[in-house]
Each structure stands twice: as structure tokens, then as C-alpha cells.
């Protein structure tokens, strides 16, 4: 299996040590890809040290991806350092370190909050995808993996309207790119995580994870393994899809304790 061996991958939103972005980057590196990681803060350089491999196999950059010019320049820097980007994992979104995120009912959402959520989740995905597509098209090879969510495309959560809208729109964007570039050796897919345990998980989110059919929250690496498959050469006939990774949560109608449901 060729997998991702020797390919250059760019993974965004990889600053958190226990987050999905860094887990995906680590698994890609272990599978033989050259990996560039990015986040908005200097903690990304701590993650770089934790990635296996030497300087020719990995790189880290700080970048505010909501700055479209900076995002486009990031792709050029990655390609100068590690080679042409064949794999793009658009993981950045949901929240940004140092920026407070409020939960609001739909009628309470102010313009700035709405624009901000679409900017960090949807627009960053668009900007980076647009930047890598010309090169992928010339080389007739590319794997684009967009970190959507079950929230928006599949289910909804009260007071998460802007977030759910951005993630649903990301799926629409994924399908459009998949259709337009399917004949050029490029695939585009989305991943929809459910309740994934990280250091930022609230007590309510952990309880929700405990009530999935599997009986626990997911791990970041469990999502990361799906991303690595979608990024591989072997996933060549899978495009325009949303792969849900939620422990079966969205297939169950009764979402209370298992001893009551059964």
C-alpha cells in the first residue's frame, strides 16, 4: 500500500497537544508523509518537536488563516520547505486560542460573531483549498480532507447556530470541489467528528460522550486515522463524502442512559 509515503501534507489547527489536528499530523508523519503544521500561536513549535522525523520531514508555521494573503503565502512557504502540497487537512476552525467564543441563541447572534465563526471555519478552508488546487491540478494528484462535524450536516445543538452553519457549508464546499476536480486525480472529503475528548471538553460534553452507543467519547487519534486513510493513494475512488466518526451517536434515537434504552 502506497498510503501517504513521500507526500507533503499541510495540517492546519494543529497547536493543541491532544487535538485532532496534531493527532492527524503525527499519524501522517508516522505513515511516511512529510508534514507541515500550523496554528495561530507559537505553541506549534512545541508540537513540531514532538513530531517524529528530522528537519527534511517536518515543518511548523504560525499563521492567522483568516488573513487570506497570509494563508496563500503559507502554502508557498510549505512548498519551499517540504515540496509540493499533495495533502491538505483543513482542521482549523470552531475556536481560536485567545479569542473568547460565546454560545448564543439565533436571535442573539451579532454580526461580528456570525462573521467570525464563518471566517475561522469555512473561509479558512476555502482560502487554503483555493491555494493548493492549481498545483494539484497540474500534478493531477491531490487529497483534500476537511474537518466538518456532525453538528450542522447531521444534527444541531442549541446556541451553536453559527458553528453548525459553517460546518454544513463546509460539506457543501467539499462536494463541489470533489465534483469539479474528480477527473484530475483530486479527491475532497469531509470528516464529521462527534463527541471527542480533549483538554477543552466540558463536563457536559464528556457526559454526552458517555451516552453514545460505544459508551465513551472518542479519541483524537481515532479521527486522525480516518483522515490518514482519506489522504492516502488507496482512497482514490472515495470523494465528496462525509465520514462520520461519532461512536454511533447519530444513529440512535434514544439518547439517554443505555440501561433505560435497553
Q: Which sequence positions are flagged as catalytic? A: 163
- Report whether 72 contacts 59 (CB < 8 A): no
User: What's the CA gap between 124 and 9, in Å, rounded?
Assistant: 16
Longest dimension (CA), the chain: 57
Residue from 197, 209, 208, 192 nearest 244 by CA: 192
User: What's the CA gap between 187 and 68, in Å, rounded?
Assistant: 23
Inter-helix orientation angle 20-30/220-230, to 10°: 50
Residue from 120, 131, 51 nearest 92 by CA: 120
Distances (CA, A) of 45 to 39, 56, 99: 9, 15, 20
Q: Where are the alpha helices (DSSP H) in 66-183?
A: 68-82, 111-118, 124-139, 161-181
Phi-psi region of 92 (alpha: psi -120 to 50; beta: other; left: phi over 0): beta
CA dihedral 47, 53, 56, 61 (to 10 degrees): -10
Measured in degrees and rounded to the nearest 5, phi and psi for residue 108 equal -95, -10
**Which helix or strand (DSSP H or E) is residue 29 part of?**
helix 20-30
Amino acid at each position: 500500500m502506497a498510503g501517504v509515503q513521500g507526500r507533503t501534507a499541510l495540517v492546519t489547527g494543529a497547536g493543541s497537544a491532544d487535538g485532532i489536528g496534531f493527532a492527524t499530523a503525527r499519524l501522517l508523519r508516522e505513515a511516511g508523509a512529510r508534514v507541515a503544521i500550523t496554528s495561530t500561536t507559537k505553541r506549534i513549535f512545541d508540537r513540531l518537536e514532538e513530531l517524529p522525523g528530522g528537519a527534511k520531514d517536518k515543518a511548523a508555521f504560525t499563521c492567522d488563516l483568516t488573513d487570506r494573503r497570509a494563508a496563500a503565502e503559507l502554502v508557498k512557504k510549505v512548498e519551499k520547505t517540504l515540496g509540493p502540497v499533495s495533502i491538505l487537512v483543513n482542521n482549523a476552525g470552531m475556536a481560536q486560542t485567545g479569542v473568547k467564543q460565546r454560545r448564543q441563541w439565533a436571535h442573539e447572534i451579532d454580526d461580528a460573531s456570525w462573521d467570525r465563526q464563518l471566517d475561522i471555519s469555512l473561509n479558512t478552508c476555502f482560502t487554503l483549498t483555493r491555494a493548493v488546487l492549481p498545483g494539484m491540478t497540474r500534478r493531477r494528484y491531490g487529497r483534500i480532507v476537511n474537518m466538518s462535524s456532525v453538528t450542522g450536516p447531521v444534527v444541531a445543538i442549541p446556541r451553536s447556530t453559527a458553528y453548525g452553519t459553517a460546518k454544513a457549508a463546509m460539506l457543501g464546499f467539499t462536494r463541489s470541489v470533489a465534483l469539479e476536480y474528480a477527473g484530475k486525480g483530486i479527491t475532497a472529503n469531509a470528516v464529521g467528528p462527534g463527541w471527542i475528548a480533549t483538554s477543552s471538553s466540558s463536563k457536559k460534553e464528556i457526559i454526552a460522550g458517555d451516552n453514545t452507543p460505544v459508551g465513551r467519547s472518542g479519541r483524537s487519534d481515532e479521527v486522525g486515522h480516518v483522515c490518514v486513510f482519506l489522504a492516502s493513494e488507496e482512497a482514490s475512488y472515495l470523494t465528496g463524502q462525509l465520514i462520520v466518526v461519532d461512536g454511533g451517536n447519530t444513529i440512535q434515537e434514544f439518547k439517554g442512559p443505555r440501561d433505560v434504552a435497553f
